[in-house]
Structures are given as C-alpha cells and as structure tokens.
Amino acid sequence: MFSRIIAGTMKWGTWGSKFDAATYERMIKDCISMGVTTFDHADIYGDYTTEEEFGKVLKQQAGLRQQMQIISKCGIRKVSVNRPQNIIKSYNTSYNYILESVETSLENLGTDYLDCLLIHRPDPLLDADEVAKAFTVLKEQGKVLHFGVSNFKRWQVDLLTSRFKLEVNQVECSLLHLDPFVDGTLDQCQQHKIIPMAWSPLGAGNIFLLEDDDERNKRILAVASILAQKYNSLADTILFSWLLTHPSGILPVLGTTKSDRLRNAVAATEIKLEREEWFMLWRASTGKEVA
C-alpha cells in the first residue's frame, strides 16, 4: 500500500526550501527511482500552497501519478492570506469540511483520488459519526482509498474505529520520543492492524546535536556508530533500521529536502538489527537497563 520510507513534503515549499518547479520534479523523480513512492502532504503545508506546487508537476508529467501514493491530511484551519475566511486557528472535522477539503486537495494535486486521507489532529468537537459519514462517502466515490488519523491518542482512535475502520495513525516516534512504545499506541496498531507512520523519526535532526551537556544524544550516536561499522552503514541508517525493526511495521516519514538523506533511510530497509542491538539503542536513549 505504501513504500517503507515515506517522503514528507512539508518543507519542500514556502515553509522550507522553497522548491521551484524544476526542483519539485527532480525530487519527485529521485524519490520514485529509489523506491520512495509514498508522498505525505497536508492541505495547510506552505500556507495552503505546497499541494498545488507539487500538483503542477503531476499535471505536466503524464504517468507520474500512477507511480506514487499520495497521503494528505485535513482538519486544521490555519490563519493565512490564502484562507482569508479563517479568523482564528482552529480545528474542523465536520462532514462538510472534510468533503470540501478533499475536493480542494484533489484539484490542487491534479488527481482524482487520494491513496490515504488523515484527520490531522484530534478535534475537541470531533463527531465520530460525521467523520465516519464523510469517510464512507469518499470511499464510495473512489476519491479516497484508505483512511486514518494523525497525532491521535489510543482512546481517540478507539472512538473512530467504533464507527469506521482506520488503517493509519501517524505519530511522533523516534529514539528521542519513545512514548508510542510505552503508552499503548504501537500495541493498539498491532491489535487493530493499523499502520503506524513515524513523523520526525530522527527527532527533527536533534539527535545529531552534540551539546556539551547532551549525554543522551552522545550515548545514542556512540551506539549507532558501533552498529554502523558492523553493518557497513551510516549512523542515521542504523537509527531508521531501529524503527523499521519494530513488529508493528513503523513507516518513517522523512521531512528532509535532500535526496541523499532519503537514500540513507532506504538503505535501512536492508538491515535487520538483532534484538540485543535494538535494546542497546533503547538503553542509550533511556539511560538505564530495562527493568
């Protein structure tokens, strides 16, 4: 359904590297050539501009769409010159808003379907029946193939799954953010066969910051370097392999704008850490042996 490494597009546009059309095209083709065929979007990225910029390439390059899977998210209403009707940042997961958001994303991306739609964040006013109704209509119309959520807690996932089958939960997950491993999130994913996607899989790059007082990062990188030598690899590749080793089937979502970093992540799919090696990195992160 999705590639094992996912390209996150949040920083491709005005929120990051400000790709021009040629760079969008080159990056898309680089990703596909290395087997990174799934692209993670959200309607708000680039203040509601990144999907359209990405979509211009698809409209001009016949056949690219058939080589990829597109994820998008909706539900956050952001104050922006591109959405003058939004007077305050808020959430909207109503039936009509979900349908309208999908129609806009489809138009901007130049496609007639999304491979996956996620509700971007938990909404205090979320009506599970309305969300399920919107998902059902979109599925019946063939406009969305798969559905899920992003940043949802276990009980919030339970609520929606009582109305509609969810297939994805995209959460922050890395050696610097271990919560999903211990708060039941990944257990729930195994229980209900939900695919966990990990955003910020290297802690937004902070894992490589070696301040004098940052003993945690030093421990993690020391172990990763030892394992990198064993597997003739790189430290970041080992850290991606650590996530991929988990039995829930974690799919890392990389927010990088560099093809080389995506390539390092792809190399992790060829490495299978031993159990004790996995726990070496766990111990490095927590600073203590398991109980």
- Of the residues 24, 45, 48, 91, which is catalytic? 45
In 3D space, the residue among 281, 290, 156 whose CA is nearest the CA of residue 223 turns out to be 281
The dihedral of CA 242, 243, 247, 251: what is its sign? negative
91: annotated active-site residue: no
Q: What angle do CA 131, 10, 225 make, to 5 degrees?
A: 115
3-state per-residue secondary structure call for 60-111: HCCCCHHHCEEEEEECEECCECCECCCCCCEECCCHHHHHHHHHHHHHHHCC
In 3D space, the residue among 5, 43, 16, 9 whose CA is nearest the CA of residue 255 turns out to be 9
| Residue pair 90/77 in contact by the 8 Å Cβ criterion | yes
- Return the number of other C-beta atoms located less than 10 Å from residue 62's C-beta: 8
CA distances to 84, 148, 155, 187 from 144, in Å: 27, 11, 24, 26
Q: Classify residue 218 by burial, with Cβ atoms within 10 Å: 0-12, 13-18, 19+.
A: middle
CA distances to 48, 116, 131, 132 from 94, in Å: 19, 18, 7, 10
Give the catalytic positions in this structure. Answer: 45
